[in-house]
Amino acid sequence: MTFKDIFKSSFLENVSNVSILDMALALILAFGIGIFIFLVYKKTYNGVMYSSSFGVTLIALTMITTIVILAVTSNVVLSLGMVGALSIVRFRTAIKEPLDIAFLFWSIAAGIVLAAGMIPLAVIGSVIIGLILLIFVNHKSHNDPYIVVLQCSGHDSERAAREYLENRTDRCVVKSKTARKGSVELNLEIRLKDDNTDFINELADMNGVESAVLVSFNGEYMG
């Protein structure tokens, strides 16, 4: 076996299956769509703690998926091995927001469609999905809910505080109530008529009300 024969292998022959131009074009488009997905995610995020690393993950996931599908489509044997290798991968990172799952699938789908050569579908589809998310996620069909935590000294002050809240808000619903000797704690969900929150100061000054706390929340109450 000569030195020249060493490099005559099927491994090196597979290099020409995907041209440099195709790889560069696919990765550039994947990067552009990944940036678009990241910007839509940043614009529509409504959680408490924004994670910039998750946004960067969306960009990387789009490009990585494109590379994997390019390799799979260029070699049938490699595609079978890739399926076996990916089947043993397990991801244990918790997804806290349900909408994050949609962004993950969006990144993966965009990478797959790009690598398959369906560039118009990947670009136009991503634009349509982004516009739909921007419209529906940022659309508010009702006022933001709040939780009011009240500490009252007795039944009379509790009733007076509830009547005051019912008159000053569009909605007032008791979520939980804790009664102790000499004190009552109430958690109420309210929806404001406007953005003015000065009523909480007046509520705290009422007779029998020991404290009043106003907390914004996302509408998912854990009792």
Q: Which residues of 111-145 are buried (b: 16+ CB within 10 A; e: fewer)?
A: bbbbbbeeeeebbebbeebbeebeeebeeeeeeeb
Specify the pLDDT at position 221.
43
Query: Mean of the pLDDT values across residues 90-105?
Result: 76
Query: pLDDT: is 187 or 74 the higher one?
Result: 187
| Residue among 61, 84, 54, 57 nearest 72 (CA) | 84
10 Å Cβ neighbour count for 171? 15
**Beta strand spans in the chain (E):** 145-152, 169-180, 183-192, 209-216
Query: pLDDT: is 137 or 6 the higher one?
Result: 137
Q: 215: helix, coil or strand?
A: strand
pLDDT in tens, 145-190: 888 888 888 888 888 888 888 888 888 888 888 888 888 888 888 8
Average confidence score pLDDT of the chain: 79
Specify the pLDDT at position 11.
47
Does the pLDDT at position 223 exceed 50? no
**31 vs 111: CA distance, rounded Å:** 10
Domains, the chain, in order of start with CATH, read 3-137 (no CATH), 145-216 (3.30.70.260)
- Residue 40's pLDDT band (cuts 50, 70, 90): very high
| Residue among 126, 191, 144 nearest 165 (CA) | 191
Q: Which of 43-47, 75-79, 111-115 has the lowest mean pLDDT?
A: 75-79
